[in-house]
Amino acid sequence: MIAAPPLLEVTDLTVDFGLGPVVDRLSLTVHPGDRIGIIGESGSGKSLTALAIVGLAPDQARITGSVRWQGRELLGRGDRELSTLRGSAMAMVFQNPLSSLNPVMRVGRQIAEPLRLHEGLSRSAAAAQAVELCRLVGLPDPEHTAKAYPHQLSGGQRQRAGIAIALAAQPALLIADEPTTALDVTVQAGVLALLADLIEARGTALVFITHDVALVSGITDQLLVMRRGLVVERGPTARLARTPEHEYTQRLIAAARATALDAEPAP
């Protein structure tokens, strides 16, 4: 069987703010249907990697290397050109939905926007589809929720709305940047299960960014471990979780296991 060509090829991606690289020569290839995790502690460069890939890194960042989408180089392209890809080809779910959602725009209209922009739907058709997407991501009373503003929703509901926005135009790749950080453990589980079900049903490739090994183990097949801007280890998620080779990965796994043991109820 001939393998499908990659969706995304990142080669020697380096992000520098003038004091040394924050992301240092990172390479990554994503094929259709891949489930890739990027883990590392705060400041490791994992979120900045995602922002550089989709063209949302801070203006003062100096970015070198190559980011190719289906063979087309993205680095150096203007925001107008990249905005046609964001939402339709690739989309992001951000870690804080309260800051990523527009506070003065109703939730349904925000979900409808990519449908009108990328799918060419009329205002009424996009609004109807937005209600269906609210239903798909498990938001209560979809018709009512679509008319609500973000501050009227709970944290978990806002993140579900963010997922609906990201998946509205059926992108081939979803990048989820710490999507459950602001949620309590019970809500985290529900959002992760929803995300896993939706990408499986749609065949969407996933890059899942987190500091939590336990989260990434349940949703990804391949794993990159970042420390201080460098990828220090990569490989199948199951193998790295079972027999990590790099001492930093070993520490992350040990800390996750200790946390899991502490969370177990006393006999």
What token pair was written down for 78? 């203007």
Residue 146 in domain = yes
Residue 259 in domain = yes
Distance CA 137, CA 256 (A): 29
Residue 204 in domain = yes
CB 56 within 8 A of CB 48: no
Model confidence band, residue 254 (pLDDT cutoffs 50, 70, 90): confident
pLDDT number for residue 218: 82
pLDDT number for residue 157: 92
CB 14 within 8 A of CB 64: yes
pLDDT at 13 > cutoff 70: yes
Residue 211 in domain = yes
Residue 2 in domain = no
pLDDT number for residue 245: 94
pLDDT at 111 > cutoff 80: yes
Distance CA 121, CA 141 (A): 23
Distance CA 3, CA 43 (A): 35
List CB contacts of 43: < 8 A, sequence separation 6 or more: 228
Q: Give the Å distances, CA to CA, from 86 to 23, 143, 256.
A: 22, 27, 33
Q: Which domain holds residue 176?
A: 8-263
Distance CA 14, CA 121 (A): 38
Distance CA 192, CA 216 (A): 10
- Give the pLDDT confidence of 36-48 residue by residue, as tens digits: 999 999 889 999 9
- In terms of Cα–Cα distance, which of 246, 242, 240 is closest to 223? 240
CATH code for position 16? 3.40.50.300
- Give the pLDDT confidence of 58-86 residue by residue, as tens digits: 999 999 999 999 999 999 888 888 888 88
CB 173 within 8 A of CB 8: yes
Residue 1 in domain = no
Residue 3 in domain = no
254 CB neighbour count, 10 Å cutoff? 12
pTM exceeds 0.75, yes or no: yes
- In terms of Cα–Cα distance, which of 5, 54, 61 is closest to 29? 5
pLDDT number for residue 266: 46
18 conformational bin, left if phi > 0, alpha if psi -120 to 50, beta if neither: left
Please state the length of the chain. Answer: 267
Residue 166 in domain = yes
Helices (H), 57-208: 79-83, 97-100, 107-118, 123-136, 142-146, 155-167, 185-202
* Range with top average pLDDT, 8-17, 157-166, 236-245: 8-17
Tell me the pLDDT of the chain averaged across its residues: 90
Q: How many domains does the chain have?
A: 1
Which residue reads 């946390």 in tokens? Answer: 259
